[in-house]
Amino acid sequence: MIGVAVMGCGVVGSGVVEMLIENRELLTGTTGDELRVLYMLDLRDLDVPEGVVLTKNFEDILNDERVQIVVETMGGTRFAYPYTKQCLEAGRHVVTSNKELVADHGDELLSIAKAHGVSYLYEASTGGGIPIIRPIQQDLRANKLSEINGIVNGSTNYLLTEMREKGVSFPAALGEAKRLGYVEANPAADVEGWDARRKLAILANAAFGAKLGDNQIIPTTGISAVTEGDMNAAAAFGGAVKLIAHAHLNESENTWTGWVHPCFVPSAHPLYNVNDVFNAIMVHGNFVDNVMFFGRGAGSKPTASAVVGDIVEVAQSLDAPRKRLEYASPVAFDAAPSAPRRLLVRFTGDENAVKAALPGCIIKECGDEKAVMTAEAPADVLNSAVQALSSAVQLGAPLFVL
């Protein structure tokens, strides 16, 4: 018997318990031993399955030597960080879906896990039910990975889909998303791009060996300022607006560039048809080229599937954790990239002034406004040109062009 404790029994944690019980026979056949839930830790009074102890005391888990795998689905860092650290130091394997904890403290927790001969796994922290960390570190490890582009937040993707397909405003789409439970009562982490930024930090770490820690990723811009005009501008050029998380390895400099930003995605791009609450992540390798992972990015059962996948990996190698892919030296973040970029910007005013400031651009009508697609230019040059142009014409917020 392999004892499991689940800390935090909300949407994800309860899904993990349900899956471990419902698929018990399958999991026993896969791991060669029974995965038995011994504890559920939560401050609320919950109904728990027969044979499971509901506790509000973390020490109950820490002091029971039968518990070999601890699942942390608490969210945040206030309790999750010290509890996870103590579990690892006590020689317990830890599996988590907590993107904030991994992004903020992952390097430290992985180091502690290595020092104590245990695993710290977090497949569910980036794409919900989409397998991505393990494929990057195992199936694609023979490739030099150089780029990631992803729709990694289902809530914002739903909002943008509603705005595009139904023509509703951002506030109206947000109200409907709250009613359906697709966003939290305070949706800032989703709509301001913070959730996507955390996931991007984890993906860049897996793909490039970047240091964990998401606060350095700039620009991070959410979708709260996206308007009907932006939707019209994207449609005029045959595309759609998506919130994209992007990372690129500058191999010659041992640095990486990353950003989270609303983007114009052309209809020919594979991410164009990723709608509603679905997520998709594209990874580029020097031999495999582009590979895309697609599926539900959130929800109780999809996320539980990723968590239990990690539990199975731990259970199959309890006494000799599988070696984690490590890089020779950490890849530093480049906060001032000059890589070429294109922008799509709405404007009203003198079209000739726009053409003069942005040579090689394309201008199209979009409702009562016009939209300009810039030619490709270094990001810093392009940003300076657009900023200077803002004194001559009225500009909307720029969309990056994917």
Q: Which residues are catalytic?
A: 199
Nearby residues of 259 by Cβ (< 8 Å), 6 or more positions away:
217, 218, 219, 220, 221, 245, 246, 400
* Rounded to 5°, angle at Cα 204 from 200 and 205: 115
Residue pointed to by tokens 């919900």: 128
Task: Work out whether strand 394-395 and strand 343-348 pair parallel, antiparallel, or are unpaired.
Answer: antiparallel
Q: Which residues of 327-343 are buried (b: 16+ CB within 10 A; e: fewer)?
A: eeeebebbeebeeebbb
Assigned token pair, 326? 């490590």
Assigned token pair, 393? 């014409």
Assigned token pair, 193? 């791009």
Beta strands in 130-232 (DSSP E): 145-151
User: How many other β-carbons are positioned within 10 Å of the β-carbon of residue 393?
Assistant: 18
Residue pointed to by tokens 């990996």: 313
65: exposed, middle or buried (C-beta count within 10 Å: 0-12, 13-18, 19+)?
A: exposed
